[in-house]
């Protein structure tokens, strides 16, 4: 009875061009239902329902008969480049083929180039992939240029198809340097999610890696179909414009690339800044031009690096007549600079170790920038071999003794 109905559906649609009924996969479950007559009745009803839906120009349909104790869930899907007549014809052939499974088997599926038909005793509509998927390869080896075009085309289809309503896309790509074209199609069942479609196509693409560099190949899975060939299997008017669905992906890739570049540049700039600061902190102080600093030092310029020659001249070679006194850390002399400014020069008597000199320079930088009316002003310093000298403001009254003759730590404490 079912065969009569199937052939009737084909007959009323008239002649067809090509239902693409090349059988790719057929499988039957290993389990039987408890009530075979009831299950068979429900299966027949779902197949009739699917055929009627395809007859109304649909390319994807599901049907359920859940009455009694032997429910049936069924699904059919045709490639959208088939005509309605070819879709119905492919379904008719699939319905006949699926009957090769024993009566009462609780599930079966068949996959053709042109369509998919499946039924189960439980719902399976959300399944995107299942064990048993594989790649079906041709037997003709293609060129490396063709292989590159295949990978590029399938990559575009894999990206675009999950974003397209109905999860279906076709495309073609000319092979650079050859008079050949590669054609491709991707399709997911419409009841799975976008993520499920993406996952299934990823598995399908991986399965096809076993076919490269064959000129054609197909990936077989329950939730999706992927095919490429050097022979056209759909008309040019059935091509899908992939650009709108690839554009967002391209923008996202560009954003990621830009973000990566910006991040990399930011890290480079940060590293450069750290290195700059490190060198600034560890480089030796530069000698300040004598004419500029000695003749016109200002209070905001920090410590002046006086030359030993100028200080020696200002103190008349540290003569006794210019000597103001001496304390625990050295002798103090009056000095008259070339700009006629009167200063007090203290020759320090401390360790000449590298660490002592470093501490000396550090203290000079700190003390020279401290301003207070009750503190003597440190104008600068001089380091000449073993000679370490400090240059202070000259104070004519006796308070100078408190600053110059006292302990160097007193100066540090006062300036901290």
Spatial CA neighbour of 74 closest among 27, 116, 113: 116
Angle at 313 between CA 307 and CA 315, to 5 degrees: 105
CA atoms of 229 and 248, how far apart (whole Å):
27
Question: Taking a C-beta distance cutoff of 8 angstroms, is the pair 173, 185 a contact?
Answer: no
Residue with tokens 């490429």: 228
Could you list the residues known to form a binding site for ATP, using ranges: 347
CA atoms of 80 and 369, how far apart (whole Å):
83
Question: Could you tell me which residues come within 8 angstroms of residue 32 by beta carbon, excluding any fewer than 6 positions away?
Answer: 102, 104, 105, 106
CA atoms of 303 and 284, how far apart (whole Å):
14
Spatial CA neighbour of 119 closest among 132, 134, 104, 133: 104
- Other beta carbons less than 10 A from residue 107's beta carbon: 19
Name the token pair of 387. 């000679």
Question: Taking a C-beta distance cutoff of 8 angstroms, is the pair 149, 215 a contact?
Answer: no
Question: Taking a C-beta distance cutoff of 8 angstroms, is the pair 23, 97 a contact?
Answer: yes
Beta strands 304-305 and 378-384 are parallel
Could you list the residues known to form a binding site, using ranges: 347
């Amino acid at each position: 009875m079912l065969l009569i109905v199937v052939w009737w559906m084909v007959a009323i649609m008239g002649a067809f061009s090509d239902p693409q009924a090349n059988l790719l996969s057929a499988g039957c479950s290993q389990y039987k239902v408890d009530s075979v007559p009831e299950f068979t009745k429900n299966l027949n009803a779902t197949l009739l329902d699917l055929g009627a839906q395809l007859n109304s120009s649909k390319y994807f349909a599901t049907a359920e008969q859940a009455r009694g104790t032997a429910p049936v869930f069924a699904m059919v899907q045709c490639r959208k480049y088939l005509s309605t007549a070819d879709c119905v014809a492919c379904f008719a052939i699939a319905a006949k083929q699926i009957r090769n499974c024993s009566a009462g088997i609780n599930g079966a599926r068949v996959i053709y180039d042109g369509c998919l038909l499946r039924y189960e005793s439980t719902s399976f509509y959300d399944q995107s992939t299942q064990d048993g998927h594989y790649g079906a390869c041709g037997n003709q080896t293609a060129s490396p240029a063709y292989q590159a075009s295949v990978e590029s085309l399938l990559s575009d289809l894999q990206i675009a198809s999950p974003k397209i309503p109905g999860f279906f896309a076709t495309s073609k790509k000319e092979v650079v340097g050859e008079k050949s074209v590669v054609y491709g199609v991707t399709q997911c069942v419409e009841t799975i999610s976008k993520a499920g479609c993406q996952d299934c196509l990823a598995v399908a693409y991986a399965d096809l890696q076993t076919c490269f560099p064959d000129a054609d190949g197909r990936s077989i899975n329950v939730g999706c179909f992927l095919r490429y060939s050097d022979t056209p299997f759909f008309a040019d008017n059935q091509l899908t414009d992939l650009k709108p669905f690839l554009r967002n992906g391209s923008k996202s890739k560009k954003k990621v690339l830009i973000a990566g570049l910006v991040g990399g540049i930011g890290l480079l700039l940060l590293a450069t800044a750290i290195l700059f600061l490190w060198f600034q902190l560890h480089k030796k102080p530069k000698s300040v031009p004598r004419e500029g600093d000695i003749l016109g030092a200002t209070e905001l310029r920090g410590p002046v690096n006086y030359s030993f020659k100028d200080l020696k001249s200002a103190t008349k070679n540290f003569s006794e007549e210019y000597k103001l006194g001496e304390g625990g850390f050295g002798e103090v002399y009056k000095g008259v600079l070339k700009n006629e400014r009167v200063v007090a020069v203290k020759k320090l008597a401390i360790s000449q170790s590298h660490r002592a000199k470093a501490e000396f320079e550090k203290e000079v930088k700190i003390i020279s920038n401290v301003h207070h009316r009750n503190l003597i002003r440190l104008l600068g310093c001089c380091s000449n071999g073993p000679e370490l000298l400090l240059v202070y403001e000259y104070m004519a009254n006796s308070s100078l003794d408190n600053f110059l003759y006292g302990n160097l730590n007193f100066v540090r404490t006062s300036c901290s």
